Amino acid sequence: MADHRTAAARRPLISGNWKMNFNHFEAIQFVQKLSYLLGKDDLGEVDVSIHPPFTDIRSVQTVIDADKLQFALGAQHCHFDDTGALTGEVAPVFLAKLGVKYVIAGHSERRELFGETDEMVAKKVAAIQRHAMTPIMCVGETLDEREAGQTETKVLGQVHAGLTGRTAEQVASMVIAYEPIWAIGTGRTATSDDAQLVCAAIRAAVAAQFGAASAGALRIQYGGSVKAGTIAELIAQHDVDGALVGGASLDPDEFARIAKLGR
């Protein structure tokens, strides 16, 4: 497969998705402990984003700002409208005002449990970028789709749909997370070769649609039961530029090990 990497190296991005865990007191304690576990040398070679529940974001932002920590603040989700009669939703402009840098869009749990469509994900990606934040757009296949040999069809279809209306420059600044649904929370992880194969296919599809420069700058994460024991082999793959970490991100010691090994 053609090499679409640019001359500038893509910095690994390790993102911790806390999902519906930790109140704001627990979130503060986690961030403070993580700051002791990850030194300047570690954070000089890898970007680390933390994605707490909405109720924790302001508290985490305060700790990051007050202690001048090198963690990027992230969010797990947002709506695509800035205002409206949408009880329970959170507008992207609210997140931007809190200093959020990365927002996850189209996580498999949002797609599977809350009915988010490819069209909704595309609108969210556009809204996140409209407010100068970076989308982490998730794509991935189910076990049935994998066993039927439909992985590339499903994943590349989601990539194409999610990037609708984006420019080459906008795509270059994004993150795409390949998270096979069958590996999330199951303890099963795609082999490093499998992850590389799909991530390379994503990059090639982006190159075909938006050009080699955008494909080379785009960061592609792997997500799905990522642990310290699996991250080094995954991150060594040419087209894997980091990890979207779920359950293992709830343990600061384990998450710090993942970040260190993901350098």
- Active-site annotation holds for 179: yes
Confidence band, pLDDT 50/70/90 cuts, at residue 73: very high
Name all domains of the chain by residue range, CATH numbers in brackets. 13-261 (3.20.20.70)
Which pTM was predicted? 0.95
Q: Which residues contact 160 (CB under 8 A, 6 or more apart)?
A: 205, 209
The pLDDT of residue 220: 98
Buried b or exposed e, range 80-113, using 16+ CB within 10 angstroms: beeeeeeeeebbbebbbeebbbbbbbbbbbbbee
pLDDT surpassing 60 at residue 2: no
The pLDDT of residue 3: 45
Q: Which of 107, 109, 116, 141 is catalytic?
A: 107
Beta strands 13-17; 72-75: pairing state: unpaired
pLDDT surpassing 50 at residue 70: yes
Distance CA 84, CA 112 (A): 25
Expressed in angstroms, the distance from the first to the final Cα of the chain is: 25
Q: For residue range 154-199, what is the model confidence (pLDDT) as tens digits?
A: 999 999 999 999 999 999 999 999 999 988 777 777 899 999 999 9
* CB-count exposure of residue 54 (10 Å: 0-12, 13-18, 19+): middle
The pLDDT of residue 189: 73
The pLDDT of residue 184: 79
Lookup: tokens for 199: 């991530």
The pLDDT of residue 7: 32
pLDDT surpassing 50 at residue 210: yes
- Active-site annotation holds for 107: yes
Ramachandran region, residue 115 (left: φ > 0; alpha: ψ -120 to 50; beta: rest): left
CB 221 within 8 A of CB 240: yes
Q: Which of 109, 116, 141, 179 is catalytic?
A: 179
